């Protein structure tokens, strides 16, 4: 770890020094001074729009409008500067501002209300914030009323209605997102742009510690995102924006509270947050929440009515402070999580039940420096230190497995201005360090340590203006390249054998094309090569795993996965219509999976292991192995607003995944098709949604096939303003027909069906 850490520190110091030199030389040289864009954002009736985000092309930061709709965006490079103004519930406004060096440009921006679903400025798809219409990858932001209508007890449940995204269900406490058939270590979980240091990616029975109630919005990137994040982003990225690191100073004390309740997992959650300005430049934010649920109730026809030992509870608290100036800003925050949940069991005997009891602590920091008149537009340095631990408890309260994970990550990114044929871009270095500690009689693997160091560059070439699509539209060619060095080491133990060390050196890259088709419409194409190194579990596991009900055997000789893929996305964003349609194909060399072992006749093989109580039990044998694999599919959604405040929507997705011999990959979600209709006048909403999941018969030997099913949902909502407070109330009826169904992507679907009928309530108030 030390050599990789020193490499990252040395590279970061060189990068910081380069930025400082560039800023100094720029201040002494001839480039004109940066200017200011100031103005006001109003709606179509002339009323001010508060909390709108105003972003200028080439900047990582955004100005936020105050209660009067006013904003000031400082240190903006001179020239013709495209401006993007967004706010939930409004159509984004795009305009071009001519700015001379050192001058102040004043603008007035009008926003039009819309009830169709739109994107927002993406911060996870590229190293620089981009207008969604200019991003060559498939991206989605879930926020506002849409987030409230889909809010569940976990991130997986919250995002399961999004096209191309489903949930891997291993009990209500351990539901995580699947993107295009990939999950676990292939989908990177972020909070406020930084990695979550939990174990949700390592095993299906490990949940995501981030509570959905903490989300102001959730951003999803589908397809490889390894350019910015390196390892673990082969399938996509989910970024929960909770704004714990403050980015703006509010004009007054602000806050919000959220209350949610569900009947299918009886219980609910509550959270509250507050932001207080301390003078002109400093802001303090605090947030706290709790959630508690009883055992999940299963759909009609299930003889047991509920799944025993599936209760859950969690607590979290956050405090952060930020200082935001004209040339520099920074912030630090501390997060604490505490959780406990039970796992569904193949054996109905309570003596076999397992409970996970854990905690996570996180310290995170970020600093940003504006580049002034130099060739470097700015620098952002951020990092986290996280301590995670959980105990897997047997029914008698003894610790069957004790897991601990320490994670340190750091990244420095320098924004670059126009250079040669490039318009703007970024260069950066990053480091990731993890120390796994595992003990107990049912330990799955030996203690391990991993270390990674990477460097990347992203640049964009403007090919030509596209005046047919608006004053700021450009045909763009984004290019990226990344190099990583990643080492994995295991410790010598009596049970697992001698120490082993694996070293991986990988290169990732991408090239795309973004073409504006008309105002509010674009076509993006992206080609990418991404690499994922094997996890420590895939390399070194050798034990029975209570979460999957199987004996898992890793392979220390596994090679890195290499994904070569193509992605095309068509976007439309209009006031009365929005749509996004994507098609993709990925060929993954050395695809790793835990395949059920079978005998010569194709029957599943078992392994006899100790049950921890002095006896033995038989578990199916799952073995980590590699095969070349191909995943291809389509996904899309569209919504249109009709006269009379009626909004109609459609969504669908399909993924086909097979190895080189044509055999299907394990645990792949089925094809889906959904229809929705709602009345929405901006205050009242009432709607219904139906989703058809088709049968999944393409499974490898030993895996259970799942039949088709249809889910029907209803929802009603009210949004109103009373004085200085805004209120939102949403009532949902999920799975109204109480259908009994099984999740094709679940590793425990043979004995753990999905939840039945659910009445859910979400209430939120802002002040």
Output the DSSP codes for 441-474.
Answer: TT--S--EEEEEEEEEEEEEEEEEE-GGG-TT-E
Token digits of residue 31: 């480039």
Summarize pLDDT for 716-739 with one digit per residue, the tens: 999 988 777 889 999 999 999 999
How many CB atoms within 10 Å of residue 608?
Answer: 11
Shared-domain flag, residues 89 and 136: no
Core vs surface per residue 161-174: b (16+ CB within 10 A) or e = bbbbbbbbbbbbbb
The domain in which residue 518 lies consists of 2-27+116-399+407-766
Q: What is the pLDDT of residue 616?
A: 62
Return the CATH number at 99. 2.60.40.1120
Q: What is the pLDDT of residue 75?
A: 74
Domain boundary among 73, 92, 113: 113
Shared-domain flag, residues 326 and 370: yes
Shared-domain flag, residues 509 and 437: yes
User: What is the spatial distance between Cα 604 and Cα 620, in angstroms, rounded to a whole number?
Assistant: 7
Q: What is the pLDDT of residue 604?
A: 67
Domain boundary among 82, 113, 144: 113
Shared-domain flag, residues 471 and 451: yes
The dihedrals phi and psi of 200, each to the nearest 5 degrees, come to: -65, -25
Quick check: 713 and 738 in contact, CB under 8 A? no
Shared-domain flag, residues 219 and 104: no
The dihedral region occupied by 157, where left means phi > 0, alpha psi between -120 and 50, and beta the remainder, is: alpha
pLDDT along the chain (767 residues), means of 10: 51 48 43 77 88 77 83 80 83 85 87 75 68 83 87 89 90 88 90 88 84 88 79 86 85 91 95 92 94 93 87 95 88 96 87 92 92 73 95 89 93 84 85 92 88 92 89 89 94 90 94 93 93 91 74 90 94 92 95 79 66 63 90 96 94 95 92 96 93 95 92 94 86 96 90 94 93
Shared-domain flag, residues 80 and 169: no
Q: How many domains, in total, are found in the chain?
A: 2
User: What is the spatial distance between Cα 706 and Cα 698, in angstroms, rounded to a whole number?
Assistant: 10
Token digits of residue 717: 């909502």
Rg for the chain, CA atoms, rounded: 25
Q: What is the pLDDT of residue 262?
A: 95
Return the CATH number at 457. 2.40.170.20
Shared-domain flag, residues 231 and 121: yes
Shared-domain flag, residues 140 and 16: yes
Quick check: 343 and 171 in contact, CB under 8 A? yes
Summarize pLDDT for 26-57 with one digit per residue, the tens: 444 444 567 788 999 998 888 898 888 888 87
Shared-domain flag, residues 452 and 325: yes
Token digits of residue 416: 């670059």
Shared-domain flag, residues 17 and 73: no
Q: What is the pLDDT of residue 27?
A: 41
Shared-domain flag, residues 163 and 99: no
Domain boundary among 113, 139, 156: 113
Q: Tell me 409's DSSP state.
A: E
The dihedrals phi and psi of 766, each to the nearest 5 degrees, come to: -120, 150
Q: What is the pLDDT of residue 542?
A: 82
Shared-domain flag, residues 444 and 515: yes
Quick check: 575 and 372 in contact, CB under 8 A? no
pTM: 0.89
Beta bridge mates, 478: 460
Beta bridge mates, 390: 358, 403
User: What is the spatial distance between Cα 616 and Cα 632, in angstroms, rounded to a whole number?
Assistant: 43
The dihedrals phi and psi of 6, each to the nearest 5 degrees, come to: -65, -35
């Amino acid at each position: 770890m030390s050599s990789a850490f020193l490499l990252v520190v040395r590279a970061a110091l060189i990068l910081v020094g380069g930025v400082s030199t560039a800023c100094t030389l720029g201040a002494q040289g001839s480039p004109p001074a940066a200017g200011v864009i100031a103005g006001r954002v109003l709606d179509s009736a002339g009323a001010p729009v508060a909390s709108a985000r105003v972003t200028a092309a080439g900047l990582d930061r955004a100005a936020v409008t105050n209660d009067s709709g006013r904003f000031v965006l400082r240190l903006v490079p001179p020239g013709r500067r495209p401006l993007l103004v967004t706010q939930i519930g409004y159509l984004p406004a795009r305009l071009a501002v001519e700015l001379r060096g050192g001058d102040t440009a004043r603008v007035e921006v009008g926003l039009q209300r819309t009830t169709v679903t739109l994107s927002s400025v993406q911060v996870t798809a590229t190293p620089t914030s981009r207008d969604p219409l200019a991003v060559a990858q498939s991206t989605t932001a879930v926020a506002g009323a849409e987030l409230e209508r889909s809010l569940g007890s976990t991130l997986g449940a919250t995002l399961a209605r999004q096209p191309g995204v489903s949930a891997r269900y291993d009990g209500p406490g351990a539901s995580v997102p699947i993107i295009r058939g990939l999950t676990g270590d292939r989908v990177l979980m972020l909070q406020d742009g930084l990695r979550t240091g939990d174990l949700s990616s390592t095993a299906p029975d490990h949940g995501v510690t981030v509570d959905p109630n903490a989300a102001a919005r959730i951003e999803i990137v589908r397809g490889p995102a390894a350019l910015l994040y390196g390892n673990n982003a082969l399938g996509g990225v989910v970024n929960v924006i909770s704004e714990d690191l403050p980015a703006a100073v509010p004009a007054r004390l602000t806050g919000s509270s959220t209350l949610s309740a569900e009947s299918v997992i009886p219980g609910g959650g509550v959270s509250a947050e507050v932001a207080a300005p301390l003078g002109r430049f400093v802001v303090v934010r605090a947030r706290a929440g709790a959630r508690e649920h009883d055992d999940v109730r299963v759909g009609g026809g299930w003889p047991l009515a509920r799944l025993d030992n599936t209760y859950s509870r969690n607590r979290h608290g956050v405090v952060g402070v930020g200082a935001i100036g004209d040339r520099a800003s920074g912030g630090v925050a501390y997060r604490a999580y505490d959780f406990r949940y039970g796992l569904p069991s193949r054996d109905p005997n309570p003596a076999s039940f397992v409970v996970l009891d854990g905690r996570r602590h996180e310290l995170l920091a970020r600093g940003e420096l504006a580049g002034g008149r130099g060739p470097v537009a700015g620098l952002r340095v951020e990092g986290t230190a996280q301590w995670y631990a959980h105990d897997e408890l047997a029914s008698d309260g003894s610790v069957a497995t004790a897991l601990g994970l320490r994670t340190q990550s750091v990244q420095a990114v320098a924004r670059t201005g126009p250079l040669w044929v490039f318009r703007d871009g970024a260069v950066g270095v990053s480091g990731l360090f993890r120390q796994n500690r595992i003990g107990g009689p049912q330990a799955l693997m030996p203690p391990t340590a991993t270390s990674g160091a990477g460097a990347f560059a992203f640049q964009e070439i403007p090919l030509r203006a596209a005046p047919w699509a608006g004053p700021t539209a450009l045909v763009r060619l984004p290019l990226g390249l990344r190099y990583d060095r990643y080492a994995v080491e295991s410790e010598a133990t009596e049970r697992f054998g001698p120490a082993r060390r694996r070293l991986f050196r990988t290169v990732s890259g991408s090239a795309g094309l973004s073409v504006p088709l008309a105002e509010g419409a674009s076509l993006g194409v992206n080609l990418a090569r991404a690499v994922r190194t094997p996890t420590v579990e895939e390399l070194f596991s050798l034990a029975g795993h209570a979460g999957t009900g199987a004996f898992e055997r890793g392979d220390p000789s596994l090679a890195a996965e290499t994904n070569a893929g193509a992605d095309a996305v068509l976007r439309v964003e209009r006031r009365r219509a929005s749509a996004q349609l994507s098609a993709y194909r990925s060929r993954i060399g050395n695809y790793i999976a835990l395949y059920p072992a079978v005998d010569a006749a194709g029957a599943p093989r078992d392994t006899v292991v100790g049950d921890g109580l002095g006896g033995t039990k038989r578990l199916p044998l799952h073995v980590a192995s590699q095969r070349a694999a191909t995943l291809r599919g389509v996904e899309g959604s569209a919504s249109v607003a009709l006269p009379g405040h009626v909004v109609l929507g459609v969504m669908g997705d399909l993924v086909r995944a097979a190895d080189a011999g044509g055999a299907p990959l394990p645990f792949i979600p089925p094809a889906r098709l959904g229809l929705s209709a709602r009345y929405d006048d901006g205050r009242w909403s009432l709607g219904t949604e139906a989703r058809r999941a088709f049968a999944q018969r393409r499974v490898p030997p030993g895996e259970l096939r799942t039949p088709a099913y249809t889910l029907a949902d209803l929802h009603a909502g009210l949004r109103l303003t009373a004085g200085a407070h805004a209120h939102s109330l949403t009532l949902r009826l999920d799975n109204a027909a109480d259908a009994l169904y099984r999740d094709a992507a679940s590793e425990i679907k043979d004995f753990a069906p999905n939840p039945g009928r659910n009445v859910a309530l979400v209430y939120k108030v802002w002040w």
